[in-house]
Amino acid sequence: MSSTETIRDLYRAMREQDDSAVFAICTPDIIWQQSTGFPGGSTWHGPASVIENVFRANARRWTGFAFTEEEMIAAGDRVIVLGHYSGTAPATGKAMRTAVAHVYDLTDGKVCRFRMFADTHPMWQALSSDS
């Protein structure tokens, strides 16, 4: 499987909440780094931590949270994905859409590191009760 196919399979697993596939696609010691300004952003270690503190947390924080891929660039064992997040903050009813870049590093065909770079301002605006 190519590196881009691996990342596409990971996105599928995230959308379908296929936790066993996430475990199979990621190394046991994966490092998952979110932008520090991202709501709930931090660095997570291991697939179980990523599933609970990233995937499940985003589903609780946003209604209809989604990542839409716009472009995928493969460079050996690194894949860069450009796209956007969207969703609605349940507490405010405000929708957001924000640009994001995902950088994946793979080793032996598995994801060992994820880095996210996002414009988090639209997210915080949607979460804010200020007009």
Measured between alpha carbons, how far is 121 from 69 in angstroms, rounded to an integer? 20
pLDDT of amino acid 36 = 84
The residue written with tokens 């990971």 in the block is: 10
Q: Alpha carbon of 56 to those of 26, 82, 109: distances in Å?
A: 17, 22, 25
> Are 62 and 89 contacting, i.e. CB atoms less than 8 angstroms apart?
yes
From first to last of the 131 residues of the chain, give the pLDDT tens digit: 899 999 999 999 999 999 999 999 999 999 999 988 899 889 999 999 999 999 999 999 999 999 999 999 999 999 999 999 999 999 999 999 999 999 999 999 999 999 999 999 999 999 998 75
Q: What is the CATH number of the domain that holds 56?
A: 3.10.450.50
Measured between alpha carbons, how far is 28 from 9 in angstroms, rounded to an integer? 17
Give the residue among 125, 129, 108, 115 at the shortest CA–CA distance from 3: 108
What does the block give as tokens for 121?
Answer: 């301002």
Q: Which segments of the chain does DSSP mark as H helices, in order?
A: 3-15, 19-25, 47-50, 57-61, 121-127
Measured between alpha carbons, how far is 37 from 48 in angstroms, rounded to an integer? 22
pLDDT of amino acid 110 = 98
Helix, strand or coil, per DSSP, at residue 25:
helix
What strands, in cross-sheet order, belong to the sheet with 95-107?
Answer: 43-45, 26-33, 110-118, 95-107, 78-88, 63-75
Determine the structural domain holding residue 57 and report its residue range: 3-127
pLDDT of amino acid 57 = 93
pLDDT of amino acid 35 = 87
pLDDT of amino acid 131 = 57
How many structural domains compose the chain? 1
